[in-house]
Every structure is written in C-alpha cells, then in structure tokens.
Amino acid sequence: MSSKEKKSVTILTESQLSSRAFKDEAYEFYKEFRKSQPLYPLSLGALGKGWLISRYDDAIHLLKNEKLKKNYENVFTAKEKRPALLRNEESLTKHILNSDPPDHNRLRTLVQKAFTHRMILQLEDKIQHIADSLLDKVQPNKFMNLVDNYAFPLPIIVISEMLGIPLEDRQKFRVWSQAIIDFSDAPERLQENDHLLGEFVEYLESLVRKKRREPAGDLISALIQAESEGTQLSTEELYSMIMLLIVAGHETTVNLITNMTYALMCHGDQFEKLRQQPDLMNSAIEEALRFHSPVELTTIRWTAEPFILHGQEIKRKDVIIISLASANRDEKIFPNADIFDIERKNNRHIAFGHGNHFCLGAQLARLEAKIAMSTLLRRCPNIQLKGEKEQIKWKGNFLMRALEELPLSF
C-alpha cells in the first residue's frame, strides 16, 4: 500500500492488514493512526465490522475490559451464531486463547504448572545443548538462513520434547502452524487452510490414540489424563490445547530471535554494544520485543456490550483488534519510540499481551531467546547480513511480524 493509497483509505480490510506492503510501512501507518484516528475502522468479511486499536493506553484498557469476549458464544445468541468458516474449526478453537472466565481459568490451570519458573529453569541445559547442536551444523559453512537453520528448529524442538511429540514431525507443524495463523476469508485460502487443518486434526487424533495406549511424563499425557477425568477437559478442548501449545510454543520465539537479530544487524552501534557488554542481553531482549513485536496484532475480541471510545460507539458484536506493535511504539509512553535502544529504561512493552490472556509461555520465550542470542553472538561474533538489507522481506501475515528468511554470514 503506497502513501497515496493510505490517504484515500477509509476502511482497512483483512487482506490489506495481511499484505507484505502493509507490513513494510506498518509503523508509519500506526504513527498516523495514533495521532489522528486511534480507533480505525476495519472490514473483516464474514466476521463483520471491526476496529483497530493503536494507542498504548487504549490497548491496556481494552485488554482487561470485561465487555470484550474471546469466545463468540458469549456474545452471539443461538440464532445469531455465525456459520463456521472451516469444517475443522470446532476441533481447534476450544483453547485458552478463545475462552473467557470461568472456562479460561480452568483451562489455564491445566497447563500453567508446566510453565512455572522452576520448570522453565530446568530446561536451561537442554536449550543450551540444542542451540550448540544447531550451530555445529552450520558453522563450517560460514553461512545460514537464521529462520530455517536456527530460529525455527530451536523452539520447535523444545516444545516438541515438552509435549512428547516426535521431532521428525516438526516440519509438518510449520506448515500447519502457518495455516492456523494465516487468517483469511478469501475462498481459495479458506479451502487450502481447511485441508491443512484437516490433516492436523487427523494427526492429533492419531497422536492422542498413541498417548492413551502409552502414556508418558509429557504434557500431552497430562492433558489426556485431565480429559479422562470428565469435567476437566473435553475432547475438542484437548485437541485445541495441544494445537495451541504447538503453535504458540514456537511461533513467538521464532520471530523474537529472528527480529532481534535483524534489529541488531540494522543498528550496528547497538550490536557492538551488546557484543562488548553481554550483561545487557536481558534488556536487549525486552527492547527487541518492543521494537519488532513478534505478535503484531491480537486475535479478535468480540464486543458483548456497547461502549464509547474516542467519541465512537462500539456496538455489540463489533470486533476489536489491538495492534501490540503500534502500542509498543507509542510516543507518549516510550521516548524516542522509533529508536532501537538496548539500554532502554522503564520498558513497559506489552509484546506478550496484558491481563488474564498474558502469554503463558513468556518466560520460556525469554529464556530461549537469551540462550539462542547469547550463543549466537559468542560463537559467531562477526555475524552480518549476507546480501542487501533491501532484500530482507517481511511476511504477509495477519497476526505476526515475521521475516521470510534472514541470510547471515560469519
């Protein structure tokens, strides 16, 4: 979308928000939205009318607002219930990200014990071993595509082992994961995604059957035990929770590692500072989360009760989408918001969300990023972009800020 097009647009569509052109200029769009139209109208096809939220204070308020629901069944009556866009929708949407209290509390309790501080710290040696093993494979070549060779396999190996999933299936997860996060109501995309999600459901059915026969000390076995207790977890919730843990368990970290590396490559002074002062790694990770937020837009929230925001009535059944990326560049909250500063103080970013849907795996993502980035800079201190910066492209994707690839030499 060009600057001329931007000026003429009065309503943004899903396809525009998902386009590579929008991703390339998104920060300029958001800056204009925050200044003049912080409640921006959206047309979301079958989902109806929506609003894009761009300011930090609005984001904080709405992420905790009980008038907004994640489960559309808490908004729509039986007669109003929208038809499923995908045949496999029911099998993959009954998870904590699409639930409201009290269901949300019940579902979160079932998995949060796997993400406690103590449990995450126990993974440190394992993550370090994975990082070193991945770099062992590429270091002799003096070249790698960071996404394929490092940023993707590291977290997918970790979450696969936590869940008890065969590692040989990880490339399948990559395809299925993209189908899940690639929100689109275009007929041809819907058909393709529905086919891929059907494959995913079949895989989950087979995996669960195997785990029922041969339970182990993994998270899927624990969830199956909860399902067998009747009121704890339904079959649809079981499949949905496994799906969410696979997807959310790696997507954010892939983008965090990749986007952070890219930001460092584009800001040589900050890269050199981090190399000279590795104790700044935690601060650098927080700044990377703010500067190129891995999750750009939140999943949808439905308006259960009308309310007024910036003089505009938000009606019942309207969709609210919050730009975490825009909120994290809000000039009123972050001084010099467009500057990448690994020593930034009071960094109150909301890259992992806010409120009761704050990311369950935030601590794991931070640990994976710390080990991945520390190991990369220690073992490849002369790392640099291979080729021209202009050749690096953001993916066209609705939810995520993700690079297609990041070629590096060292």
Mean pLDDT of 378-382: 94
Mean pLDDT of 202-217: 92
Higher pLDDT, 75 or 233: 75
pLDDT of residue 78: 78
CATH number, domain 3-409, options 1.10.10.10, 3.30.750.80, 1.10.630.10, 1.10.1370.30: 1.10.630.10
User: With 90 as the cut, is the pLDDT of residue 252 above it?
Assistant: yes
Q: pLDDT tens digits, residue range 324-345?
A: 999 999 999 999 999 999 999 9
pLDDT of residue 379: 96
pLDDT of residue 5: 43
3-class secondary-structure state, position 347: coil
Q: pLDDT tens digits, residue range 101-150?
A: 999 998 998 888 888 888 899 999 999 999 999 999 999 999 999 999 99
Q: Across 60-69, 72-81, 392-401, which has the greatest mean pLDDT?
A: 60-69
Residues in the chain: 410
Sort strands 319-322 and 49-53 into parallel, antiparallel or unpaired: parallel
Identity of the amino acid at 187: P
Rounded CA-CA distance 60/55 in Å is: 9
pLDDT of residue 409: 96
Q: Are 300 and 320 in contact (CB under 8 A)?
A: yes
Mean pLDDT of 45-52: 90
Contacts with 41 (C-beta within 8 Å, 6 or more apart), sequence order: 10, 11, 12, 49, 50, 51, 52
Six-digit token pair at 271? 């890269």
Rounded CA-CA distance 75/402 in Å is: 32
Mean pLDDT of 233-246: 88
Rounded CA-CA distance 341/46 in Å is: 41
Sort strands 319-322 and 301-303 into parallel, antiparallel or unpaired: antiparallel
User: With 50 as the cut, is the pLDDT of residue 4 above it?
Assistant: no
Four-CA torsion 371, 372, 373, 375, nearest 10 degrees: 80
394-172-363 Cα angle (round to 5): 65
Distance of CA 325 to the CA centre of its chain: 11
The pTM is what? 0.92
Band of pLDDT at residue 8, cut at 50, 70 and 90: very low
pLDDT of residue 325: 98
3-class secondary-structure state, position 68: strand
pLDDT of residue 90: 67
Short-list 24, 85, 14, 84, CA closest to 398:
14
pLDDT of residue 37: 95
Q: pLDDT tens digits, residue range 168-188?
A: 887 788 888 877 776 666 667
